[in-house]
Amino acid sequence: MKLIVQIPAWNEEETLAESIAAVPRRIRGVTSVEVLVVDDGSTDRTVEVAKQAGADHVLQMSSHVGLARAFLAGIEECLTLGADIIVNTDADNQYCADDIPALIEPVLERRAQIVVGARPISEIESFSPVKKVLQRLGSWVVRVASGTDIPDAPSGFRAYARDAAARLCVVNTYTYTLETIIQAGRKRIPMTSVPVRVNTVKRPSRLFRGMGQYIMRSVKTILRVFVIYAPLRFFMTLASFFLLPALAGVGRFVYFYATDGGAGHIQSLVLSGAFLAVATILFAVGILADLIAANRSLLEDIRARDLLRQPQRPRQTGKVIHAVDFADAS
């Protein structure tokens, strides 16, 4: 049973060594523990620090591609390296690595294929009261959209079983955290969460400049993923907002037509006709989007099988795997 801890890093020369050193190398139920650092086009000494700190593998992207793309590249590389379990953590040492055994326990016991570390949001001093409220609100929205019960959706401290990791396909370039939960929920991949501890992080997040940007990007990500993975439900909901007023308008016209001949109420019929046209278009778009989603699901299944069947790369400690090599391997 091989465990690979992947650490996406972008200009993290100051904290990366500490994050690598914190990873426990002996865990009950696991035969080997390796560390993969995914360098997201860093311009500092991140790659050099990773090798000096004892990273077993370094995947170097050709340019800065963003957290979501770096995460997915790391997942595919872990699968190529023969990982049975993949743990994702941050390079800023935000998450307590001593909780990795608890994080992977549900996977080892086959109770879940994805485990999300739930942070004690109310106890994190670096989070403002507004951010704490938004974190809870965002997690609630993700639970509704995904049909899951994950209390801390934005948490990046996660464990993935090999089969579940192969089925993930991140579309947006901003972050993988919300999308992968909604995606896994729609694909009915068993998920659970465990409480985890956090360390003090001195620098602010690099994913967003302010709370407003974080909210807008999160809302955009949730809507986009919901359209991708539940298109029929999404467009049928939109269509109903036009269909109901249209039916009410038609009913109003029919009532007045039956009582006084409908004189002077033709506007209701015209407006209702416009609403019915919009509802019909949305309904048609929903059908087409649902067919496209079914085709995409088949392509994702083919991709997952290909990832699981590809030959495994032998371990070469300290070797830097470049993006070109990674693209060829996948």
For the ranges 193-202, 241-250, 310-319, the lowest mean pLDDT is seen at 310-319
Q: What is the pLDDT of residue 10?
A: 92
Q: Which helix (H) or strand (E) holds 8?
A: strand 2-9
pLDDT, one tens digit per residue, over 106-161 is 999 999 999 999 988 776 766 667 767 777 777 777 787 778 888 888 889 999 99
Q: Is 82 left (phi over 0), alpha (psi -120 to 50) or beta?
A: left
- pLDDT exceeds cutoff 60 at 206: no
Alpha helices in the chain (DSSP H): 16-22, 46-52, 67-80, 100-108, 129-146, 162-166, 177-186, 211-229, 231-260, 266-309, 323-329
What is the percent of the chain with per-residue pLDDT over 70, rounded to a whole number?
85
Q: Which helix (H) or strand (E) holds 322?
A: strand 320-322
- pLDDT exceeds cutoff 50 at 227: yes
Confidence at 251, pLDDT banded by 50, 70, 90: confident
Q: What is the pLDDT of residue 62?
A: 85
Q: Nearest CA to 134 among 208, 233, 234, 40? A: 208
Q: Is 64 left (phi over 0), alpha (psi -120 to 50) or beta?
A: beta
- Phi and psi for 49 in degrees, rounded to 5? -65, -40
Encode 204-242: b = buried (16+ Cβ within 10 Å), e = exposed.
Answer: eeeebeeeeebeebbeebbebbbebbbbbebbbebbeeb
Q: Nearest CA to 89 among 140, 45, 78? A: 78
- pLDDT exceeds cutoff 70 at 250: yes
- pLDDT exceeds cutoff 80 at 202: no
Confidence at 326, pLDDT banded by 50, 70, 90: very low
What is the percent of the chain with per-residue pLDDT over 90, rounded to a whole number?
45
Q: What 3-state class would DSSP assign to 182?
A: helix
- pLDDT exceeds cutoff 70 at 316: no
Q: Are 119 and 152 in contact (CB under 8 A)?
A: yes
- pLDDT exceeds cutoff 90 at 249: no
The residues, ordered by sequence, that sit 6+ positions from 68 with a Cβ below 8 Å of its Cβ are: 170, 172, 173, 174, 175, 176, 179
Q: What is the pLDDT of residue 133?
A: 75
- Phi and psi for 87 in degrees, rounded to 5? -110, 130
- DSSP class per residue in 234-295: HHHHHHHHHHHHHHHHHHHHHHHHHHHTTTT-HHHHHHHHHHHHHHHHHHHHHHHHHHHHHH
Q: What is the pLDDT of residue 161?
A: 96
Q: What is the pLDDT of residue 112?
A: 95
Over residues 54-61, mean pLDDT: 92
Question: What is the residue type of 21?
Answer: A
Q: What is the pLDDT of residue 296?
A: 83
Q: Which residue has the higher pLDDT, 49 or 174?
A: 49
Q: What is the pLDDT of residue 322?
A: 63
Confidence at 308, pLDDT banded by 50, 70, 90: confident
Over residues 160-164, mean pLDDT: 94
The DSSP call for residue 153 is T
The neighbour count for residue 253, using CB atoms within 10 Å, is: 19
Confidence at 325, pLDDT banded by 50, 70, 90: very low
